[in-house]
Amino acid sequence: MFTSLSDRLTATFQNLRGKGRLSESDVNATVRDIRMALLDADVALPVVKEFTRGVRERALGSEVSQALNPGQQVVKIVNDELVKILGGETRQLQLAKNPPTVILLAGLQGSGKTTFAGKLAKLLKDQGHYPLLVAADLQRPNAVTQLEVVADRAGVVCFAPEQGNVGGHDAVTDSGEGTHSFGDPVWVAKAGVGQAKVRGYDVVIVDTAGRLAVDENLMQQARNIRDEIQPDEVLFVIDAMIGQAAVDTALAFQDGVDFTGVVLSKLDGDARGGAALSVASVTGRPIMYASIGEQTKDIEVFHPDRMASRILDMGDVLTLIEQAEKAFDQRQAAEMQRKFLADEDFTFHDFLEQMSAIKKMGNLKSLLQMMPGMGQMKEQLANFDEREFDRVEAMVRSMTPFERTHPKQINGSRRSRIAKGSGVTVSEVNQLLERFQGAQKMMRQMRKGGGMPGMPPMPGMPGPGAASKKKQVKKKGKSGNPAKRAQQEKAAAEKAEAARTASLGNAFGTPEPEQDMSDIKLPKGFEKFLDRKD
């Protein structure tokens, strides 16, 4: 979504590198480049003016002139201003003190309200809530059926007493003899809230009708539903690819319905992203969620600071950690830890479990883009073929249970059978087995405290160079004295166990002895991972 903007800003900041002092002309040139980048990204002009004014004032002040690295200080200022126009702080969903919490969705037709309703219901269900979807969009053809399908995919219940428009007519545009009655959406919304109270659902998500453009009939219907059910949250769903029209549409809905939060849909598209940078600043309402795909799991809580980091190609490690925590269960981690301690080899069964967990995290390209500096590897990401993971999984699943645990026993005939069963060539199977043997070798080296091949030593672990140096040292022979020899063997065993414990701590996150970390500056948001007691 922000590829073009990110590229322009990154190129702008590269011109500041290595400068020990920034002149006023340097600052003006930088601000001019930022202004052009924002305008090219379809950001609203009032937002651009406010943004560049804030950057210029801070860049010309003592904040930059007294900095040891003025270039990095300007990047920090731009990051702070981006966070500001994106809403400042993360806004969580406000749940009602007395359930059910009623959430009303509003927006234009095609903005993604119905799909988002299912995603939000799935997210809340995973958090331990019992959501109910209410089909109050009775105008759009087959909108009720679509919501029922979305609800089924999300694993939640859909309340749909009226089937709505199934004939392709529009109750608002038709008039006279052509008028069609598809039911009363206000009554459906009110009945849905009543059903939630009776049946014990603690969240109600009401999907309402939209239009291809803002009109009074649309606003009046949304106002009537809002006045009748008194929602705790009114979420305005807007297509992130809408461009300059985002601001006018958002202001129209703010005046007509007075929403409490914004949802950006289709954030995985290739548009310029101006809507995301304009709506929150112009309306004063926070962006609460981002829809990033077609599946029910493709939803994120919107964090302004993390989104600013993505735009500036600084990555989004916190979101990556959160997604990994959801995907990898504690049982698998405990089993891997047990195998590591018991000197058991990594098998293809373990490989399948880890691959399944990675798939749960979402689109792999999106995950890679959350890593800092990945914006400079666009060509490699563009050529990255996710189907390679499917081919590898097919090869592993074509193996017998014995072969998955004894890969060394896979001879020529077995490799031929695996290749035919997975639709690949024998050479691809050979390559997989070679890579797998390399992974096993790496795990053994880590178990012994030797670190990963080709990588610098980890804390408490000798590096690859240290191993080669040790080979040059002549080992002491075992003593002929039985008591002394037993003492030597005990010391060697204790040393090996200490090395294995150290490597285990680095591989599986086992805590090391407490150290004073009060002086270490951590990125905002990391504290919750350090303070966790589970």
- Whether 68 shows a pLDDT value over 90: the answer reads no
Q: Classify 263 as helix, strand or coil.
A: strand
Residues 42 and 156 in one domain: no
110 is in an annotated binding site: yes
Closest by CA to 295, choosing from 413, 118, 455, is 118
Q: Give the pLDDT band of residue 363 (cuts 50, 70, 90).
A: low
Is residue 128 in some structural domain? yes
- Is 378 within any annotated ligand binding site? no
**Residue 256 domain flag:** yes
Say if residue 114 is in the same domain as residue 69.
Answer: no
Instruction: Check whether 533 is labelled as a binding-site residue.
Output: no
Looking at the structure, tell me whether residues 231 and 157 fall in a common domain.
Answer: yes
Residue 416's pLDDT is 92
Instruction: Tell me which of 520 and 111 has the higher pLDDT.
Output: 111
Burial of 203 (0-12, 13-18, 19+ CB in 10 A): buried
Share of the chain above pLDDT 90, in %: 16
Q: Based on the domain organization, do 298 and 332 belong to the same domain?
A: no
Q: Are residues 259 and 133 in the same domain?
A: yes
Of 59 and 150, more confident: 150
The answer on pLDDT for 228 being more than 60 is yes
Mean pLDDT in residue range 99-112: 89
Residue 211 annotated as binding site: yes
* 373 annotated as a binding-site residue: no
Is residue 478 a part of any domain in this protein?
A: no
Q: Are residues 306 and 325 in the same domain?
A: no
Q: Confirm whether residue 487 is marked as ligand binding.
A: no
Q: What is the pTM of this model?
A: 0.61
Q: Domain of 224?
A: 101-312
Q: What is the largest CA-CA distance in the chain?
A: 110
Q: Tell me what the mean pLDDT of segment 301-323 comes to.
A: 68
Looking at per-residue pLDDT, the higher value among 275 and 122 belongs to: 122
pLDDT tens-place string over residues 139-174: 888 889 999 999 999 999 999 888 877 765 544 444
* Average pLDDT value for the chain: 75
- Domain contains 522: no
pLDDT confidence of residue 85: 82
Does residue 106 sit within a domain? Answer: yes
From the list 44, 33, 43, 41, the residue with the least C-alpha distance to 9 is 33
Confidence at residue 189, expressed as pLDDT on a 0 to 100 scale: 92
User: What are the pLDDT digits (tens) for 371-400?
Assistant: 555 555 555 555 656 677 778 888 888 989
Residues 38 and 155 in one domain: no
- If asked whether residues 114 and 181 sit together in one domain, one would say yes
pLDDT score at 175: 40
Annotation-wise, does 212 bind a ligand?
Answer: no
Q: What CATH number has the domain bearing residue 300?
A: 3.40.50.300
Number of domains in the chain: 3
CA dihedral 357, 362, 364, 369 (to 10 degrees): -120
What is the Cα–Cα distance from 193 to 492, expressed in whole angstroms?
70
- What backbone phi and psi angles, to 5 degrees, belong to 171? -65, -20
Who has greater pLDDT, 100 or 86? 100
The answer as to whether 391 is a domain residue is: yes
Do 297 and 244 belong to one domain?
yes
90 in any annotated domain:
no
Residue 350 annotated as part of some ligand binding site: no
The listed range with the strongest mean pLDDT (147-156, 208-217, 295-304, 514-523) is: 147-156
Choosing from 274, 290, 312, the residue where a domain stops is 312
DSSP state of 476: P
Indicate whether 503 belongs to any domain.
no
Residue 431 DSSP code: H
pLDDT at 202: 92
- In terms of pLDDT, which residue wins out, 497 or 414? 414
Higher confidence at residue 507 or residue 158? Answer: 158
Asked if 370 and 392 sit in the same domain, the reply is yes
Is 426 found in the same domain as 337?
yes
> What would the two tokens of residue 121 be?
């219901």
Q: Does pLDDT of 500 surpass 60? A: no
CATH assignment at residue 343 = 1.10.260.30
- Report pLDDT digits (tens) over 416-435: 999 999 888 999 889 888 88
Whether residue 116 contacts residue 246, with contact meaning beta carbons closer than 8 Å, is answered with no
What confidence score (pLDDT) does residue 217 get?
Answer: 80
* CATH number reported for the structural domain that contains residue 8 in this entry: 1.20.120.140
109 is in an annotated binding site: yes
Domain's final residue, options 31, 56, 85:
85
The total of other beta-carbon atoms located within 10 Å of residue 420's CB is 13
Query: With pLDDT > 70 as the criterion, what percentage of the chain qualifies?
Result: 66
Segment 279-292 shows an average pLDDT of: 86
Q: Could you tell me if 44 and 156 lie in one domain?
A: no
Q: Which of 307, 251, 301, 248 has its CA nearest to residue 277? A: 307
**In this structure, how many other beta carbons lie within 10 angstroms of the beta carbon of residue 380?**
10
Q: Does 111 belong to an annotated binding site?
A: yes
Q: Is 173 annotated as a binding residue?
A: no
Domain boundary residue, one of 85, 115, 148: 85
Instruction: List own/partner pairs for 28-37 with CB under 8 A and 24 or more apart.
Output: 28/56, 30/59, 30/74, 31/55, 31/56, 31/59, 33/8, 34/9, 34/78, 36/8, 37/5, 37/8, 37/9, 37/12
Residue 118 annotated in ligand binding: no
Q: Say if residue 256 carries a ligand binding annotation.
A: no
pLDDT given at position 326: 58
265 annotated binding-site participant: yes
Check whether 208 is labelled as a binding-site residue.
yes
